Amino acid sequence: MTKPYDEQALMARIHYVLVNAELRESRTSEMGIEIAFAGKKHFITSNRIQILDLLISTYENAIQKTESLKRP
């Protein structure tokens, strides 16, 4: 989340994290994957749920920013 944040959006994000906490605990960690980016190799050890959480968070943030730009 970025500042300034919308209180309702913050509460929704916290709720999402808490609801999915049990799923994260029951999953085993994945080994990871090596990728090439910007001429360098990187090893990502995040599991699928962490990556999905990041993507959803980024998408939600983009929607919030778009909505704030539409307001007069």
The token pair at 10 is 């913050």
pLDDT at residue 24 in the model: 59
Q: Is residue 42 within 8 Å of 35, Cβ to Cβ?
A: yes
Instruction: Check pLDDT > 70 for residue 28.
Output: no
pLDDT at residue 59 in the model: 92
Amino acid at 34: E
- Other CB atoms within a 10 A radius of the CB of residue 8 amount to 8
Average pLDDT over residues 31-44: 79
> What is the distance between the alpha carbons of residues 68 and 9, in angstroms, rounded to a whole number?
13
pLDDT at residue 15 in the model: 79
The pTM of this model reads: 0.51
